Amino acid sequence: MSCSGKTTFAKKLVDYTYHCFDLYFKWALIEALGVSIQANFQHIQKICNSDKFVLDGWHLADQEGKYLPDNSVVYVIYAKYDQIISQYRVDVLDHEQHRIMYRQWYDIDYKKLKARYFFNNGEEFTETDYATFRFITGP
């Protein structure tokens, strides 16, 4: 989810090779030419081949984690909805206009992915558990 702090968190992992998902995922080729999403995922799998890497971002098309790079650990970086939209560079005229996307990201069954959860309160990241994640991101 945009503005949840995932890039800030990723950059704190200084011993890891940083990879930006949006840089490697060929959005324009998929949207304009119909290039395979799976082929893009496989391309990213090949790039993230070091022992210690962080991949900043992923795509809702792979909610099961089928195409995650080998030995990946999913870190869910989350924040309250109001905090996220307050950071957008463009004014949010309808407070609820981004709620659908927020729900799409946070309604994924991350338990299946054996995820770790980190709450961004705007000043620091705190590791939490699944119940806390659900409580904060709930309806």
Assess contact for 2 and 39: CB atoms under 8 A: no
CA 25, 60, 76, 78 torsion-angle sign? positive
Q: What are phi and psi of 30, to 5 degrees?
A: -70, -50
What pLDDT is recorded for position 17? 94
What pLDDT is recorded for position 26? 86
Greatest alpha-carbon pair distance for the chain in Å reads: 44
Residue spans of the domains in the chain: they are 6-137
What pLDDT is recorded for position 125? 96
Ordered mean pLDDT values, 10 residues apiece, the chain (139 residues)? 84 94 86 84 92 92 92 93 83 83 88 94 94 89
